[in-house]
Every structure is written in structure tokens, then in C-alpha cells.
């Protein structure tokens, strides 16, 4: 029995390692191409390590296109949307988990129903709303719709429901009102869930393509994913694959850094999904 269990464990490790390598290889190859010249990019057989490391592709792509403005737009939109999404979801999640008010259950069911609606269905009516408000090609058109989502509310509600009620009772004895109980007691204990929601929201908004493409019209307001499509279209006859891969690496760097910094919070949220009283 013990031998079978050990074999199964080693098999799981092997599958995980194989999966990790298969997912890392395309990214590593992209980095290699971004650091290589055109002659090495089209060399056969392909090489996964650059022979002569060069940052010329990064210099060329930054000088030829407004990458800095694209990056700044993506950063502003992703950061503000993430903060708003976390605040709204935390407040709403705590209200649904701990407070009693009329139509509490029907409202929560409606929020769950919105999670089942494909985002593409909302794009057309949402665009008409932004047009009537004269918000097209503005930051608020790309930020405000992303601040509200059923997944964040559901996630925070489930986490707050697992917190012991004795903590709230102790805070009430100390003279805290409902808002003070929320931000002094419940919110600090929900730090893993807040960090996880923040990371997921940031990655989703950072990689968003369809909505920024529809709601923006000027080159000044484009984000990095939208700019990538215009950069590729800018090469008429010969596509500079080294510069394109350099652009893709620039797009990936903030997301990778955020995940490396916050991965422990995601792991804690997954492993410690319950709170013992």
C-alpha cells in the first residue's frame, strides 16, 4: 500500500513538472527571440538560448511606437480598477455575509446570475451608455465597468462567512460600530482573499483587449494589448519578429512581477480556506 502511494505521488510530481515545463517553454522561447537578431530568429534548427544577447529589439520597438504611453495607460487602468474592484467587492461581500437587510437573498442571487452572462453580451449596451455619457476614449470608460463584478462579491462573501462571529462580538464589546468592525477586524483577517482578488483582477484588466479596443479611438488612449495589434499592423511587408516578441515580453513583465510578489497570498488563500474557531 505504501509503495503504491509513493508511486502515485511520484507520478503526480512528474505530471506537474511536465506541465510546468510545457507552459514555460513558449515564454522562454519568446524571451530568447526578443534578445536575438533576425538571423538567429530564422535559424534552423531553432535555439532556445541566444548566442549573442542584444537589447536592440527593445530599443527599436520603444523608439518606433509610443510604448511608454501604452504602458502608462495599462498601468493606470489596471491599478485603479483593481483598487475599486477590491473595495466594492469587500464592502458588498461583508454586507451579504454579516448584515441583515431586505431582499438580501434575491439580490445575491441576481449577482450570481450576472456571473453566468458572457461578457461579450454586455459590450454593445455598455458602449451605448458610454457614448451617451461622452466617455468614449477616456479613462473612466475603461475603469468604471471593471470595478463591479459578481465573482469578487461572491469570493469575499464566502471568506467573510467563514470568520468566527466571536470576533465581531468582541469588537462590539470594545465599542466598535459596524464600519469599524469591518475595516478593523474583518478586512485584515481577509487579507489573503483581498490579495488573491486583487491579483486576479489586475491580470484580467491588464490583459483585456476587446473592451479597450472598442471604447478607444485615439492612439494616446490605447493600452498595451490593443497597441500590440496596431504594432503588428504597422509592419507592411516584413514583420520584425524580434521587435514583436520584445513588445510581448514588455507586456508580460508587470504581471509576472505581481504574481511573484503575491503568490504566497494566493497559496495561503487556497490552503487556508477555512478558519478554525
Is residue 111 assigned to a domain? yes
Considering the domain architecture, whether residues 143 and 37 belong to the same structural domain is answered as no
pLDDT for position 263: 72
Is residue 276 assigned to a domain? no
Considering the domain architecture, whether residues 71 and 116 belong to the same structural domain is answered as yes
Is residue 207 assigned to a domain? yes
Residue 100 has pLDDT above 80, yes or no: yes
pLDDT for position 236: 65
Average pLDDT for 92-109: 91
Considering the domain architecture, whether residues 137 and 40 belong to the same structural domain is answered as no
Is residue 259 assigned to a domain? yes
Find out whether 243 and 57 touch, Cβ atoms under 8 Å.
yes
Q: How far, in Å, CA of 180 to CA of 187, rounded?
A: 10
How many C-beta neighbours within 10 Å does residue 37 have?
A: 16
Considering the domain architecture, whether residues 50 and 135 belong to the same structural domain is answered as no
pLDDT for position 1: 56
All three cell numbers of 273, joined, read 480556506
Q: How many CA atoms lie within 13 A of 74 on its CB side?
A: 27
Q: How far, in Å, CA of 33 to CA of 246, rounded?
A: 8
pLDDT for position 184: 86
Q: pLDDT tens across 177-218, in order?
A: 888 889 888 988 888 889 889 999 999 999 999 999 999 988
Q: How far, in Å, CA of 49 to CA of 146, rounded?
A: 39
Residue 274 has pLDDT above 50, yes or no: no
Considering the domain architecture, whether residues 31 and 6 belong to the same structural domain is answered as yes
Considering the domain architecture, whether residues 113 and 235 belong to the same structural domain is answered as yes
Considering the domain architecture, whether residues 81 and 42 belong to the same structural domain is answered as no
Considering the domain architecture, whether residues 71 and 16 belong to the same structural domain is answered as no
Considering the domain architecture, whether residues 82 and 22 belong to the same structural domain is answered as no
| Average pLDDT over all residues of the chain | 86
- For the domain that residue 174 is a member of, what is the CATH number? 1.10.3720.10
Residue 171 has pLDDT above 80, yes or no: yes
Number of domains present in the structure of the chain: 2
How many C-beta neighbours within 10 Å does residue 212 have?
A: 21
Considering the domain architecture, whether residues 71 and 175 belong to the same structural domain is answered as yes
Is residue 60 assigned to a domain? no
User: Which range marks the domain in which residue 47 is found?
Assistant: 1-54
Q: How far, in Å, CA of 78 to CA of 277, rounded?
A: 37
Domain boundary among 54, 74, 96: 54
pTM > 0.75: yes
Considering the domain architecture, whether residues 5 and 136 belong to the same structural domain is answered as no
- Buried/exposed 139-174: b ≥16 CB within 10 Å, e otherwise: eebbbbbbbebbbbbbbbbebbebbeeeebeebeee
All three cell numbers of 104, joined, read 438580501
- Buried/exposed 74-88: b ≥16 CB within 10 Å, e otherwise: beebbbbbbebbbeb
Considering the domain architecture, whether residues 150 and 230 belong to the same structural domain is answered as yes
Q: pLDDT tens across 26-40, in order?
A: 888 888 888 887 777
Amino acid at each position: 500500500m505504501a509503495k503504491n502511494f509513493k508511486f502515485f505521488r511520484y507520478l503526480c510530481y512528474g505530471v506537474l513538472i511536465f506541465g510546468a515545463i510545457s507552459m514555460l517553454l513558449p515564454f522562454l522561447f519568446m524571451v530568447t527571440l526578443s534578445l536575438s537578431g533576425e538571423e538567429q530568429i530564422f535559424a534552423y534548427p531553432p535555439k532556445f538560448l541566444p548566442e549573442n544577447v542584444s537589447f536592440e529589439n527593445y530599443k527599436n520597438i520603444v523608439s518606433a511606437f509610443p510604448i511608454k504611453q501604452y504602458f502608462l495607460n495599462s498601468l493606470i487602468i489596471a491599478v485603479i480598477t483593481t483598487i475599486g474592484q477590491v473595495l466594492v467587492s469587500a464592502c458588498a461581500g461583508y454586507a451579504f455575509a454579516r448584515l441583515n437587510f431586505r431582499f438580501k437573498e434575491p439580490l445575491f442571487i441576481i449577482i450570481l446570475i450576472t456571473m453566468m452572462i458572457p461578457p461579450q453580451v454586455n459590450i454593445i449596451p455598455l458602449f451605448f451608455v458610454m457614448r451617451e455619457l461622452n466617455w468614449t476614449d477616456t479613462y473612466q470608460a475603461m475603469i468604471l465597468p471593471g470595478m463591479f463584478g459578481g465573482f469578487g462579491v461572491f469570493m469575499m462573501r464566502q471568506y467573510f462567512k467563514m470568520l468566527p462571529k466571536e470576533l465581531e462580538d468582541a469588537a462590539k464589546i470594545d465599542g466598535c460600530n459596524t464600519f469599524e468592525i469591518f475595516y478593523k477586524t474583518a478586512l485584515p483577517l481577509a487579507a489573503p482573499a483581498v490579495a488573491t482578488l486583487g491579483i486576479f483582477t489586475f491580470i484580467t484588466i491588464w490583459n483585456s483587449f476587446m473592451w479597450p479596443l472598442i471604447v478607444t479611438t485615439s492612439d494616446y488612449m490605447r493600452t498595451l494589448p490593443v497597441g500590440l495589434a496596431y504594432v503588428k499592423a504597422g509592419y507592411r511587408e516584413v514583420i520584425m519578429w524580434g521587435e514583436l516578441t520584445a513588445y510581448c515580453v514588455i507586456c508580460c513583465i508587470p504581471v509576472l512581477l505581481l504574481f511573484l510578489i503575491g503568490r504566497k497570498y494566493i497559496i495561503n488563500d487556497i490552503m487556508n480556506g477555512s478558519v478554525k474557531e
